[in-house]
Amino acid sequence: MEITKLKPVFYTLAAISGVVGMAMYFSSIFSGIFLIIAAIVIYYIYRGLLTSYKTAKAEVYSVLKSMLIPLVGIIAAILIGAIIMVLTGYNPVRAYKALFYGGFVKNWSISVLNATPLLFTGLSVAFAFKAGLFNIGAEGQYYVGAMVATFLGITFNLPPVVSIILIFIIGGLLAAAYNFIPALLKVKTGAHEVITTMMFAHIAKYLSSIFIRGMGGDSAGSHPYVTDPIRDSNFLMKFKTIFPSANYRVHIGILIGIGMALLVSYILYRTTFGYEIRAIGQNKDAARGQGINVGKNIFIALLFAGFLSGFAGVTQVIGLDHKMFENLNAGYGWNGVSVALLAANNPIGVIFTALLWGALDAGGQYMSRTTQTPNSIVEIIKGIILFLLVAKYIWAWLGHRLKRWLGKRLQKNGGVQ
Amino acid sequence: MNKFTRISVIILVLALAFSGIVFANGNSEKTDTAAAAKIIVGMATDTGGLGDKSFNDGSYEGVKKAAVDFNLDARVVESKQQTDYVPNLAGLAEDGSKVVFAIGFLMADAMIEVAKNNPDTVFAGIDIGLDPATAPKNVQGLLFKEQESGYVAGVLAGLMTKKYASVSDRLNDDNVVGMVLGMDIPPVERYQAGFYAGVKSVNPDCKVLSVVTGVFTDQAKGKESALAMIEQGADIIFQIAGLTGIGALNAADEAGVAGIGVDVDQYGVAPEAIMTSAVKGITQATYLTVKDVINDKFVGGGNRTFGINEDATGIAPYHNWNSLIPAEVKDAVDKAIADLKSGKVVAPASRAEAGYEG
Amino acid sequence: MEGILAILNTDLLVATIRLSTPITLAAVGATICERSGIVNIAMEGMMIMGAFFAVVVAYFTGNPWLGLLAGVVAGGIFSLVHAVATVTFHLDHVVSGAVLNILSFGIVRYLMVLFFGHPGTTEPIPHGLNEYQFAIPGLSKIPVLGSMFFNQTPIVYMSFLLIIAALFFLKRTKVGLHLRAAGEHPMALETIGVSVYKMRYLGVLISGLFSGLAGAYLSIENAVSFTEGMSNGRGFIALAAMISGGWTAIGSFLAALFFGFADAFQIRMQIFKVLPIPAEIFIIFPYVATVIAVAGLVRKSRSPKADGIDFIIEREDG
């Protein structure tokens, strides 16, 4: 029997196990991890049956290897952070205990909530990077998505599922449209998108103030600088409806995010568009030589990046806040850059780095509350983690030097001159 | 395995060992409650954090003072994003705090939620207005009538800028005053509206200028905004812009005109230039709340408004201007305060109410 | 209409100079850096470091000139991290810059808590450089230009001198020519025996020093304390200025003036209530102007040929 005929069986099994496992895990039912592992195992069993045991093993190893470098960087940063803490008079053991316990166990639901918008903005930035573009203005697209979601959330009065899907799509499209001018300028005049998207991000922030005042209560009222709340029917579903023991605020936005990550991964690695994007990212001129329409692809890529960041704003409004707050400097756009960089712009990797960032934030708060260690140490650790991305290049450089040094030793010790 | 992999594995093993040591004593959420034979009073700031020289700092001052006076353990947590509010507030409650302060309206929902789940802890929110019909009994909103402080400051400014300008070289004859705003948010607007009304009540022809900077942390913008208005003849600059406003006050000082601070007594920023500050008794509010809780006098489920009648709004002492300000002006200021207290005068709480475009 | 005309006066131009100085400094520094072939988007972070350390030293020593030095040095040292990452470790320039920006905020926050006991804003320094404003006799009496250019504070004067110095450096000195070659034809430079790496390190260092000076201006000359986030995007506007200025010192200066002008103008528009619209519309004016400038002007210029392109060379060092 052709093994490929069983593909749908394997994939469905893996998908169900994976989704249920993730839903459980995000609801702080940690035994869900077994279902997630099961899903992965099922997938690789299929790969093994399809190709060969050896190939599948190689695939698994290559995935593990790609995770190795960021992991090493993270661990090194944590150690350096510990040294800094000791040097400035804080107890790293107590602090880290609190940090990890708070972030990954006690307040895991908060970590998930923190991670959700980061996942989307991270995907947005990562995707743009693949095309050689720096969508640093993700924050602005986030605001646009949030504003649209707030407006529609207040006005839409449709059946819930329809409503929510529409809000996502419209929010995403308008956020993509917000990147229209930067994209156009990039293609037509070569204007650097770092500047244009960043300026647009500042503009969106100030415009959102006007929007919120317009959509919100009067200034003498009790909730002045927030908008009116959106309708109940437009709330994004929470995990609690499936798993009653879940924290009452965690919503399924994270699953939507993971879905988007898979979609982005598919687009990048399994479609022509994705291939062209990556080709442009690696070498624009060579890509042009291959006949790829660079301008068109860059344009679409920036718009799509805007679309993804827009989702971040939408999920935040219909999932968590249910309204829009002014003066909320959460910086999801800027942090999305870090999340993308740490994942080496790999969409699946972004899932993990977003969760890590979310956990560091939540854990940092817990740590600062319980041990009174300033949570700016978390910011420093994050910065060092990022900087140790360089680990990859340092490895290469070190390895290179080592090889040459060894080569010279061999030469000196009797090799042929 | 190649060299790279080997080294990585070594590092990983070391990391595992390290985490083994770290977690050797098992997970616990035991905080420093060992030392807490004392009652705890907790405070969760908003994303601005401490060091804002007004809001969060002022509240913390009150908490600290109460901690000293009533022998309590004061704990503060700085929130970074909206998702932190609930765990911070809940965490402080679970640590055993007797009273927890939430700073800033952004925490309103979080505070109410956490209060419902922790009925034995008192929660008080600065600038959080509650609906008495639905608010839980262990919560209280602490509101301020910034417009009253603004009004009194406006009366002072209105008189000093023209009629009594001769008492100081810093004042001129142009009959112009200016305000520097941070973000255009309601407390800021309340100060602005009150100030405008106060100025107009004693000096109807005075030109009142305003600039919105849109940010609370950019001193340079504050400086430029103040200077632009000073160029137009403004001789008194009222800052309602947090740290941006510090730049404005310094600029006023350098340019040789006068300034008025905000939220707390800011005369220290520029002792020669600052006539007074429009204050908001945040420190008092937190202190009194703790005091009430300790003395079992706390009444929750609604709002407590701190205005002129509680002496929680008003203006700071004149300090170096005390000798310069004529008695008539001081009397007028006192009269304004009395009128506000008696209700004879009501300070407008919004630009619309004040008839001011900004 | 009369309102708008009243805005156009000397004060507006003087304010333009004040608002554009930090941008000018960072942009001119960035010009030199990018001319050597290294893309620098970390000016925001370098500015913050400069601003912070200027205040720390000025506060604890009471001497603003030492603070000035500290700010400049801090910017320089911080920029060396960028240099090491991009030149020696061949890390992507944009990535390194982005990371450095993030790192700078964390470091400054942590150190502020350490040195001052709390985050947010520091205590005011006893003496700021604004006390040293002086008017050049004679020249300062020239109408309009006199007040703009000849009656300013120390760092503003420095910025004028540095623009000229940068111009001279890039066009007339041997080192400057080598530096430019590192950004245009690095291989050719190596063949004549000059180290491209060294030139690039120099370029990055110079931009770090300049950005540090810009930061010091913000905190100890234009203000008397440090506030977290006080750079407020100026590092990126400087990047825009450099690009719209065509990667030249004069161009960067003119572009920076343009942005300073836009900001000064927007403030005055609010005062004169030119239009009955929310203040935020005015506030975004400089940002919109930036976009227009970058869009409209970039056509005419191009970046150094080897800018942003990594350069690796094998060397025999016995």
**What CATH number did the domain enclosing B140 receive?**
3.40.50.2300
Neighbors of chain C with 3 or more C-beta pairs under 8 Å: A, B
Portion of chain A with pLDDT greater than 70, in percent: 92
pLDDT at B197 over 90: yes
Residue among B34, B83, B27, B89 nearest A96 (CA): B27
The pLDDT, as a whole number, for residue A327 is: 62
**Does residue C230 sit at the B interface (CB-CB below 8 Å)?**
yes
Q: What is the CATH number of domain A91-373?
A: 1.10.3470
The pLDDT, as a whole number, for residue B336 is: 93
A394: alpha, beta or left? (left if phi > 0; alpha if psi -120 to 50) = alpha
Q: Can you tell me the mean pLDDT for B251-261?
A: 93
Please state which of the ranges A103-117, A236-250, C20-34 shows the lowest mean pLDDT: A236-250
- Structural domain for B111, as ranges: 32-144
> What is the distance between the alpha carbons of residues A303 and A301, in angstroms, rounded to a whole number?
5
Q: Which of B144, B163, B196 marks a domain boundary?
A: B144
> Chain C: nearest CA to B120, how far in angstroms?
31
Q: Which residue has the higher pLDDT, A404 or C235?
A: C235
Q: Which residue is it, tokens 């000139």?
A: C65
Q: How many helices (H) and strands (E) does chain C have?
A: 14, 2
pLDDT tens digits along A49-60: 878 888 888 888
Please state which of the ranges A46-60, A144-158, B322-336 shows the lowest mean pLDDT: A46-60
pLDDT at C65 over 80: yes
> What is the distance between the alpha carbons of residues A222 and A225, in angstroms, rounded to a whole number?
9
Q: Is B293 exposed, middle or buried (0-12, 13-18, 19+ CB in 10 A)?
A: buried
Please state which of the ranges A229-233, B147-151, B155-159, C159-163 shows the lowest mean pLDDT: A229-233
Q: Can you tell me the mean pLDDT for B86-108?
A: 84
Pairs of residues, one from chain A and one from chain C, whose beta carbons lie less than 8 Å apart: 122
Same domain, yes or no: B318 and B180: yes
> Chain A: nearest CA to B134, how far in angstroms?
13
The residues in A 279-298 lying below 8 A from B, measured between CB atoms, are none
Residue among C49, C91, B169, C287 nearest A137 (CA): C287
Residue ranges of alpha helices (H) inside chain B are: 3-22, 55-70, 85-94, 108-117, 146-161, 186-202, 219-231, 242-254, 282-294, 327-342, 351-354
Same domain, yes or no: B208 and B350: yes
- Measure the N-to-C terminal CA separation of chain B; round to a whole number of Å: 71
The pLDDT, as a whole number, for residue B35 is: 37
Give contacts of B249 with chain C, Cβ < 8 Å.
Answer: none
Same domain, yes or no: B207 and B119: no
Measured between CA atoms, the residue of chain C closest to residue A182 is C291
The pLDDT, as a whole number, for residue C1 is: 46
**Does residue A368 sit at the B interface (CB-CB below 8 Å)?**
yes
CB contact under 8 A, B219 and C222: yes
Q: Can you tell me the mean pLDDT for B81-107?
A: 84
> Chain B: nearest CA to C65, how far in angstroms?
19
* Of residues A199, A337, A389, nearest to C291 (C-beta): A199
Q: Is residue B124 part of a domain?
A: yes
Q: Is residue B286 part of a domain?
A: no
Q: What is the ipTM of this complex?
A: 0.81
Q: Are C265 and C156 in contact (CB under 8 A)?
A: no
pLDDT at B19 over 70: no
The pLDDT, as a whole number, for residue B26 is: 42
Residue among C118, C12, A357, C304 nearest B52 (CA): C118
**Does residue C276 sit at the B interface (CB-CB below 8 Å)?**
yes
Identify the residue among B80, B181, B196, B219 best suited for mutation to test binding to C, counting C beta carbons within 10 A and taking the highest.
B219
Q: What ranges do the domains of chain A cover?
A: 1-51, 91-373
Quick one: which H or E segment has residue B275? strand B274-280
Q: Can you tell me the mean pLDDT for C154-163?
A: 92
* Of residues A203, A390, A393, nearest to C284 (C-beta): A203
CB contact under 8 A, A68 and B8: yes
pLDDT confidence of C195, banded at 50, 70, 90? confident
**Does residue B228 sit at the C interface (CB-CB below 8 Å)?**
yes
pLDDT at B25 over 50: no
pLDDT at A13 over 60: yes
pLDDT at A350 over 50: yes
Q: Can you tell me the mean pLDDT for A163-186?
A: 93
pLDDT tens digits along B125-142: 888 878 888 888 899 988
pLDDT at C94 over 70: yes
Q: Which residue has the higher pLDDT, B339 or A46?
A: B339
Cβ partners under 8 Å of residue B107, min gap 6: B44, B46, B79, B85, B89, B125, B128
Q: How far is CA B236 from CA B156, B232, C203, C212, in A?
A: 10, 11, 46, 34
Q: Is residue B307 part of a domain?
A: no
Q: Can you tell me the mean pLDDT for C243-258?
A: 89
The residues in A 199-218 lying below 8 A from C, measured between CB atoms, are 199-200, 202-203, 206-207, 209-210, 213
Residue among C120, B28, B87 nearest A365 (CA): B87
State the average pLDDT for chain C: 85
Same domain, yes or no: B94 and B226: no
The pLDDT, as a whole number, for residue A180 is: 94
pTM recorded for the entire structure = 0.83
pLDDT tens digits along C295-318: 776 555 566 766 766 666 655 443
pLDDT at A406 over 80: no
Identify the residue among A178, A376, A384 best suited for mutation to test binding to C, counting C beta carbons within 10 A and taking the highest.
A376
- Measure the N-to-C terminal CA separation of chain C; round to a whole number of Å: 75
**Does residue B48 sit at the C interface (CB-CB below 8 Å)?**
yes
Same domain, yes or no: B264 and B345: yes
Q: Are C43 and C240 in contact (CB under 8 A)?
A: no
Measured between CA atoms, the residue of chain C closest to residue A132 is C94
Token reading at A282: 């690696």
Residue among C95, C92, C217 nearest C152 (CA): C217
Same domain, yes or no: B102 and B167: no
Give contacts of A376 with chain C, Cβ < 8 Å.
Answer: 106, 109-110, 113, 119
Give contacts of B29 with chain A, Cβ < 8 Å.
Answer: 101, 106, 370
> Chain C: nearest CA to B166, how far in angstroms?
25
**Does residue C228 sit at the B interface (CB-CB below 8 Å)?**
yes
CB contact under 8 A, B47 and A226: no
* Phi, psi of C69, rounded to the nearest 5 degrees: -60, -45
Residues recorded for chain B? 358
Residue among C263, C243, C261, C265 nearest C252 (CA): C243
Q: Can you tell me the mean pLDDT for A396-416?
A: 67
Q: Are B247 and B216 in contact (CB under 8 A)?
A: no
Secondary structure of residue C49 in the 3-state scheme:
helix
**Does residue B50 sit at the C interface (CB-CB below 8 Å)?**
yes
Q: Is A49 exposed, middle or buried (0-12, 13-18, 19+ CB in 10 A)?
A: middle
Q: Can you tell me the mean pLDDT for B32-52?
A: 64
CA torsion, ordered A332, A335, A337, A343, to nearest 10 deg: -110
Same domain, yes or no: B50 and B153: no
CB contact under 8 A, C121 and B213: no
pLDDT tens digits along A189-228: 877 888 889 889 989 988 988 888 888 755 554 445 777 7
Please state which of the ranges A107-121, A218-232, A246-260, B224-238 shows the lowest mean pLDDT: A218-232
pLDDT tens digits along B291-315: 888 888 888 888 888 888 777 788 8
Q: Is residue B118 part of a domain?
A: yes
* Of residues C41, C91, C119, nearest to A390 (C-beta): C91
Q: Which residue is it, tokens 């209060």?
A: B115
The pLDDT, as a whole number, for residue B236 is: 94
The pLDDT, as a whole number, for residue C243 is: 83
The pLDDT, as a whole number, for residue A71 is: 76
Residue ranges of alpha helices (H) inside C62-136 are: 64-83, 93-116
Q: Is residue B15 part of a domain?
A: no
Portion of chain A with pLDDT greater than 90, in percent: 29
Give contacts of C281 with chain A, Cβ < 8 Å.
Answer: 210
Q: Can you tell me the mean pLDDT for B238-262?
A: 92
> What is the distance between the alpha carbons of residues B48 and C109, in angstroms, rounded to a whole number?
13
Q: Which residue has the higher pLDDT, A131 or A249?
A: A131
Token reading at C122: 């520091």
Same domain, yes or no: B138 and B161: no
Residue among A357, A329, A375 nearest A85 (CA): A375
The pLDDT, as a whole number, for residue A399 is: 65
> What is the distance between the alpha carbons of residues C260 and C12, in angstroms, rounded to a whole number?
10
Q: Is A357 exposed, middle or buried (0-12, 13-18, 19+ CB in 10 A)?
A: buried
State the average pLDDT for chain A: 84
> Chain A: nearest CA to C75, how far in angstroms?
17
Same domain, yes or no: B138 and B199: no
CB contact under 8 A, C298 and A189: yes
Quick one: which H or E segment has residue B304? strand B302-306
Give contacts of A93 with chain B, Cβ < 8 Å.
Answer: 21-22
Residue among B80, B63, B81 nearest B72 (CA): B63
- Measure the N-to-C terminal CA separation of chain A; round to a whole number of Å: 61
pLDDT at B30 over 60: no
SS3 annotation, C122-168 = CCCCCCCHHHHCEECCCHHHCCCHHHHHCEECHHHHHHHHHHHHHHH
The pLDDT, as a whole number, for residue B36 is: 40
Q: Can you tell me the mean pLDDT for C113-133?
A: 82
Q: Which of B144, B162, B183 marks a domain boundary?
A: B144
Identify the residue among A213, A219, A382, A387 best suited for mutation to test binding to C, counting C beta carbons within 10 A and taking the highest.
A387
Same domain, yes or no: B196 and B318: yes
CA A309 remoteness from chain centre: 10
Same domain, yes or no: B183 and B331: yes
pLDDT at B27 over 50: no
pLDDT at B247 over 50: yes
The pLDDT, as a whole number, for residue B160 is: 92
> Chain A: nearest CA to C233, how far in angstroms?
9
> Chain A: nearest CA to B90, how far in angstroms?
11
Cβ partners under 8 Å of residue B8, min gap 6: A68, A69, A72
CB contact under 8 A, C280 and B214: yes
Q: Is residue B327 part of a domain?
A: yes
Q: Are C129 and C218 in contact (CB under 8 A)?
A: no
> What is the distance between the alpha carbons of residues C240 and C233, in angstroms, rounded to a whole number?
11
SS3 annotation, chain A = CCHHHHHHHHHHHHHHHHHHHHHHHHCCCCCHHHHHHHHHHHHHHHHHHHCCHHHHHHHHHHHHHHHHHHHHHHHHHHHHHHHHHHHCCCCHHHHHHHHHHHHHHHCHHHHHHHHHHHHHHHHHHHHHHHCCCCCCCHHHHHHHHHHHHHHHHHHCCCCHHHHHHHHHHHHHHHHHHHCHHHHHHHHHHCCCHHHHHHHHHHHHHHHHHHHHHHHECCCCCCCCCEECCCCHHHCCCEHHHCCCCCCCCCECHHHHHHHHHHHHHHHHHHCHHHHHHHHHHHCHHHHHHCCCCHHHHHHHHHHHHHHHHHHHHHHHHHHHHCCCECCCCCCHHHHHHHHHHHCCCCHHHHHHHHHHHHHHHHHHHHHHHHHCCCCHHHHHHHHHHHHCCHHHHHHHHHHHHHHHHHHHHHHHCCCCC
**Does residue A94 sit at the B interface (CB-CB below 8 Å)?**
no
Q: How far is CA A298 from CA A265, B64, C39, C298, in A?
A: 18, 56, 21, 18
State the average pLDDT for chain B: 84
Residue among A119, A106, A80 nearest A365 (CA): A106
Identify the residue among B83, B106, B353 best suited for mutation to test binding to A, counting A beta carbons within 10 A and taking the highest.
B83
Q: Is C102 exposed, middle or buried (0-12, 13-18, 19+ CB in 10 A)?
A: buried
Q: Which of B117, B144, B171 marks a domain boundary?
A: B144
Same domain, yes or no: B80 and B128: yes
Provide the residue type at B210 as one letter: S
Neighbors of chain A with 3 or more C-beta pairs under 8 Å: B, C
**Does residue A223 sit at the B interface (CB-CB below 8 Å)?**
yes
Q: Is residue B20 part of a domain?
A: no
